[in-house]
């Protein structure tokens, strides 16, 4: 299995530089890297600012036997032309890194305050995502979308978005996140079953869940409360998610979205 380091990687680069981060990735037992940037934070949120930086980073990673499995970017495309242009540049950076995929969020709200109407937000998100995907196609990059937020999530909401994206663009796929569908009270394995044939990349994580509020926990759309859990210790059915992937011949990477990398690697290695 190709196990990617994901969530902690930008912090490693900031602390150790690209060479140190690559060495640490190998030491931790990961075989590849998933990068992360936040275009909502403008330049301060970018791991790489241009293709020249990306090419240098690629050389360093490849010298350690590492590849980039996906470039992930946090964005909110609701009426944000600036972020669309930033995502186009990130598609070019993905190509320079040798990544086949650009994964970006679309409508990532996980708070119920002042949410725009579903149909309105979805149309804006679709139009913006189409513009990014068509630009990415010029660089041979496939755009991926995870189950995230209150809109592009669950079975019905995600299908509304993704089926339309498949109609508009050929270079699109699913980033299956094992835990994010819990924000709309759908188990991860149910999401994986529904979209298994289109899953091209995977995020592995786990959550605790309770029915009463607690400080620091996040409220789901259905009124439950969730908080991050160490891999394999929460309610996410990792076994079933991995079985669904195997049954569908999945041969892509599984990226760890957890900061305890050694523990998560041990959990995933049994697969």
Evaluated on CA atoms 87, 91, 94, 96, the torsion sign reads: negative
**pLDDT of the residue at 158:** 98
> To the nearest 5 percent, what fractions of the chain are helix, strand and coil?
45, 20, 35
Supply the pLDDT for residue 264: 97
**What pLDDT sits at residue 212?**
96
Element containing residue 33 per DSSP (H, E): strand 32-38
Q: What is the DSSP letter of 152?
A: B
Q: Where are the beta strands (DSSP E) in 167-215?
A: 172-177, 199-204, 206-210
pTM, full prediction: 0.97
Phi and psi angles of residue 232, each rounded to the nearest 5 degrees, phi first: 85, 0
| Residue 27 neighbours by CB under 8 Å, 6+ apart | none
pLDDT, residue 114, reads 81
- In CATH, the number for domain 2-207+237-269 is 3.20.20.150
pLDDT of residue 2: 95
> Tokens 């530089």 appear where?
17
Dihedral, 154, 160, 165, 170 alpha carbons, nearest 10: 80
What whole-number distance in Å separates Cα of residue 143 and Cα of residue 87?
10
Report how far residue 148's alpha carbon sits from residue 108's, in angstroms, rounded to the nearest whole number: 6
* Predicted local confidence at residue 269, as pLDDT: 93
The radius of gyration computed from the CA coordinates of the chain, to the nearest angstrom, equals 18
The tokens of 20 are what? 């140190």
Task: Tokens for 267, please give them.
Answer: 């959990």
**Contact predicate 19/60, CB 8 Å:** yes
- Give the pLDDT of the chain (271 residues) as one tens digit per residue: 899 999 999 999 999 999 999 999 999 999 999 999 999 998 999 999 999 999 999 999 999 999 999 999 999 999 999 999 999 999 999 999 999 999 999 999 998 778 999 999 999 999 999 999 999 999 999 999 999 999 999 999 999 999 999 999 999 999 999 999 999 999 999 999 999 999 999 999 999 999 999 999 999 999 999 999 999 999 999 999 999 999 999 999 999 999 999 999 999 999 8
Phi, psi dihedrals of residue 218, rounded to the nearest 5°: -110, 140
């Amino acid at each position: 299995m190709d196990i990617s380091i994901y969530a902690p990687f930008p912090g490693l680069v900031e602390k150790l530089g690209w060479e140190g981060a690559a060495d640490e990735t190998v030491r931790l037992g990961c075989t590849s890297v998933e990068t992360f940037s936040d275009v909502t934070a403008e330049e301060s949120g970018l791991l790489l600012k241009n293709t020249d930086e990306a090419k240098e980073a690629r050389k360093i990673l490849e010298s350690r036997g590492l590849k980039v499995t996906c470039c992930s970017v946090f964005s909110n495309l609701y009426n944000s032309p600036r972020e669309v242009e930033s995502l186009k540049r990130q598609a070019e950076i993905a190509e320079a890194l040798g990544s086949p995929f650009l994964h970006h969020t679309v409508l990532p709200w996980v708070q119920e305050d002042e949410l725009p109407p579903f149909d309105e937000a979805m149309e804006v998100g679709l139009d913006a995502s189409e513009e990014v995907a068509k630009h990415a196609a010029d660089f041979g990059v496939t755009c991926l979308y995870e189950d995230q937020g209150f809109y592009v999530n669950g079975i019905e909401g995600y299908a509304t978005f993704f089926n339309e994206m498949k109609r508009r663009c050929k270079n699109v796929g699913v980033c299956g996140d094992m835990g994010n569908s819990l924000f709309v009270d759908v188990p991860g394995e149910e999401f994986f079953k529904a979209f298994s044939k289109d899953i091209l990349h995977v995020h592995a994580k786990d959550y605790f869940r309770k029915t009463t509020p607690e400080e620091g926990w996040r409220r789901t759309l259905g009124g439950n409360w969730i908080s991050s859990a160490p891999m394999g210790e929460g309610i996410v059915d990792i076994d079933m998610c991995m079985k669904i992937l195997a049954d569908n011949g999945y041969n892509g990477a599984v990226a760890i979205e957890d900061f305890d990398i050694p523990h998560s690697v041990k959990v995933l290695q049994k697969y």
